[in-house]
Amino acid sequence: MAKRQYFKKLAAHQDLLVLLAVLMLLLLALLKPSVPVKHDIHSYFFIVDITQSMNAVDMQVNGKPASRLDHTKQLLRETISSLPCDTKVGLGMFSGVNVVTLYLPIEVCSNFSAIQDTLDHIDWRNAWTADSRVRESMLSTSRVVSNFPEPAQVVFFSDGEEAPKLHAFNTRDLSTLQNADGWLLVGIGSEKGAAIPKFTEKNQLLGYWSHESMQLAPGAAPIAAAGLLNRKKDIAEDINDRYLSKLSEATLQAMAKEIGATYVRGDTYMTLQSAMKKQKPARREWAPWSLSSALAGLAGLFLLLAYVPFSRFVKKDIASKQPPAFISAQL
């Protein structure tokens, strides 16, 4: 009986109660309350190999033949376009033994046009040397990233080509490399390979690099590693003399294993995306999560209740208290 009277009182003041509840929830929402939530912070540092082997045409862009460098740039355009706001993106280039930073990671949405414009202007002619020391570049990458104000997720695009070739006794030891755990090495190129075009400074084709231009005399290895050896720039005399550059997948895989990184083929955007999703975030931190939207949604729910009269609950309550029909008949 008391419960039924209680529901009757609520039904009599239903509109007022709903209005008070909505006003309270909206006032709370205006105060912008929040709770601390730990979430992942993604900050990428994309490094592009701009050595001359990346000019080899054995990849595709939109179904048409393309150089490794153009394919890499297209991969980055698609990747950067898909990143959510608040993600940070930085760009760097590799040539010789060094990695240089074009800019530190910046927020992707507010700087989208600038990032895309920088990407469009990455060119093999930006290279400061003709040599390619991919193993050495790992050490350079580590030094560069360690000086960033915030941790970054490294994604390194390269065909793994070492030029001129180094001898085994001159291979750089990477066992001392630090902070490479979670890096992503992306292999660009094909197993079939392609000749490396030789261009003028105005990007006009002169011919293709010869086998001889990629060879290294045994005694010259230490000099070449220091970047002091003048490489021969011979042009292949015929198609059989052209040096065939291939994706050095074994080299990249071995480096990835040695430094604790992950290797993936960069043939498609989807493959790259899948690998990036498995990367460890740059960092995890506590950040406020606003409750305003939840409170406003709850206020809307209470407004919907205004269309559901409390008398329905009262009737159900009365019905639940009535004895079954056969008991009433006996009484």
Instruction: Dump pLDDT digits (tens) for 225-236.
Output: 444 344 445 788
pLDDT tens digits, 54-101: 999 999 999 999 999 999 999 999 999 999 998 999 999 999 999 999
Number of C-beta neighbours around residue 243 at 10 A = 20
CATH architecture of 38-204+246-286: 3-Layer(aba) Sandwich (3.40)
Q: Residue 96 has which token pair?
A: 């010789």
Q: Can you name the residues that pair with 91 across neighbouring β-strands?
A: 46, 103
pLDDT tens digits, 131-188: 888 999 999 999 999 999 999 999 999 999 987 776 555 677 787 887 888 899 999 9
pLDDT at 217 over 90: no
> What pTM value is reported for the model?
0.74
Domain boundaries along the sequence of the chain: 2-33+292-330, 38-204+246-286
- CA gap 190, 267 in Å, rounded: 9
pLDDT the model gives residue 249: 95
pLDDT the model gives residue 24: 79
Contacts of 82 (CB under 8 A, 6+ apart): 273
- At 243 the three-state DSSP class reads coil
Length of the chain: 331
pLDDT tens digits, 258-307: 999 999 999 999 999 999 999 888 765 545 667 778 877 777 776 776 66
